[in-house]
Structure 1
Amino acid sequence: MDNLLPVSVLALDPVLDAGAKSTLYGSPDIAMVLPHEPARVAVVIVDRVDDQVLHLVGTARGEAHHPEVVLVATELAPIEARRAIAVGARGLLRRREASMERLVRTVLAAAGGDCTVPTDLLDPLLDHRTDGRPAVAARPPWSGPGLSDRERAVLRLVADGRETGEIAQELSYSVRTVTSVVRDITQRFRLRNRAHAVAYALRGGLL
């Protein structure tokens, strides 16, 4: 038990609650705990992301033990993803993508400090403001030299929770190249680590 990651599940629908717990129980790395017990990660399962859900995410993040929050929603549009990140969600998944492997990977990534979002949301999150209009002039963190295509490709996979070796294999780069790309991004924008790079990209000039 001491070596397992304590994870709680919060769901407004008891069917969703039972399904998520059943999925996570199958992981040898995770120990399920009750919502009021200390958890490293809280998994919030919902149908749609509305004000009630955003309040639930913020409340979960504000618990005394400050768990990271992974939000799993049936529908997840870019504006909803931005709002969820703004109130403290560390990982985002759509329910149809939340296989056991994907959900566990997202939970473990959140516990390790990485920010994970569906890859198809990364560009919209970078390219639009919360009102849905282009954010060309409202994106100071990525102004100046911006990101190259290679940096964007690497950052997308970092946001998807991929490890360095997996990113290298996916893009046919060496591990050293991927490490160098991430280091260049963090140094250029004065960021702490790769999780900070993803979070900074998602928040920069958008919220």
Structure 2
Amino acid sequence: MGEPLPVSVVALDPVLEAGTESTLAVCPDLSVAAPGEQPRVVVMTVDRFARTELDMLRATRDTAARPAVVLVASELAPGEALHALAAGARALLRRREADPPRLARAVLAAARGDCTLPPDLLERLLEQSAAPGRDASGTPAGWAAAGLSDRERSVLRMVADGHETSEIAQCLAYSQRTVTTVVHDITQRFRLRNRAHAVAYALRAGLL
């Protein structure tokens, strides 16, 4: 058996952080990284996954070591799972499922570059990605779960195709101000830097 894999824990709640470290401590293939030690994997433990947690995930991924991230949350809706994956999470677990064996498997898989999700959540994501149908409001199902409207999807598709604001406005019969507002709303909602980041985010999440 080789050296245990160094893992760090990040959490907004110190109780959650301590509990996750205790779980990792009983996994012989893993060790909690010492101060100053570069972790290969970070376990991020949260109650819910909202904007603050999304920013924390991105900040964790943006460090020099670029560690893989395993996200453990109390609950994860399909749209939240898409945002987490697009931001760089390698594995998603619900807290009630994160016992030592499952957490260890997810961490080791993340270190290898593999992505793991709860089977039922993966099935729901695949259904939404493949579903051609629309919800009660007429919005494509997968986009609704990701928090994007049909109008936002149309604009983002044209941005991805390289069209300028004036071309998008003319094609979709919107004013240029409306197109600019739609792109701005998308970038602000998901904490994206610019148009290119918005397109990359949507592509990584499987939304385009």
Task: State the identity as a percent.
Answer: 55
Q: Distance in 1 between matches of 2:205 and 2:67?
A: 23
Structure 1, 7-16 or 26-35: larger mean CA deviation: 26-35
Q: Is the 8 A contact 2:61 2:69 kept in 1?
A: yes
Q: Measured at CA, do residues 58 and 100 of structure 1 come closer, stay the same or move farther in structure 2, by a change above 3 Å?
A: same
1:131 equivalenced with 2:132 (yes/no): no
SS at match of 1:131: helix
* 1:153-202 Cα shifts (integer Å, max 9, x gaps): xxxxxxxxxxxxxxxxxxxxxxxxxxxxxxxxxxxxxxxxxxxxxxxxx9
Shift in Å, 1:203: 4.7
**What does 1:1-207 correspond to in 2, within 5 Å?**
3-34=3-34, 37-128=37-128, 129-132=142-145, 203=204, 205-206=206-207
How many residues were matched structurally? 140
**What letter corresponds to residue 70 of structure 1 in structure 2?**
V
**What letter corresponds to residue 111 of structure 1 in structure 2?**
A
Shift in Å, 1:111: 0.5
Q: Is the 8 A contact 1:9 1:42 kept in 2?
A: yes
**What letter corresponds to residue 41 of structure 2 in structure 1?**
V
**What letter corresponds to residue 131 of structure 1 in structure 2?**
A
Q: Distance in 2 between matches of 1:86 and 1:132?
A: 14
Specify the alignment match of 1:198 in structure 2.
Answer: none
Q: Distance in 2 between matches of 1:122 and 1:74?
A: 16
Shift in Å, 1:92: 0.2
Shift in Å, 1:123: 2.1
SS at match of 1:39: coil
**What letter corresponds to residue 15 of structure 2 in structure 1?**
V
Shift in Å, 1:36: 5.8
TM-score (normalised: structure 2): 0.62
Q: Is the 8 A contact 2:86 2:205 kept in 1?
A: no
Shift in Å, 1:131: 2.1
Computing the radius of gyration from Cα coordinates, the structure with the larger value is 2
Specify the alignment match of 1:181 in structure 2.
Answer: none
Q: Is the 8 A contact 2:83 2:205 kept in 1?
A: no
Q: Distance in 2 between matches of 1:66 and 1:130?
A: 29
Q: Distance in 2 between matches of 1:55 and 1:131?
A: 22
* Cα RMSD (Å): 2.3
Shift in Å, 1:4: 1.7
Q: Which runs of 4+ in 1 moved over 4 A?
A: none
* 1:55-74 Cα shifts (integer Å, max 9, x gaps): 11111111101100000000
Q: Is the 8 A contact 1:82 1:130 kept in 2?
A: no
SS at match of 2:120: helix
Point out where structure 1 has 5 or more consecutive residues left out of the alignment: 139-201
Shift in Å, 1:204: 6.5
**What letter corresponds to residue 92 of structure 2 in structure 1?**
L
Point out where structure 2 has 5 or more consecutive residues left out of the alignment: 129-141, 147-152, 154-202
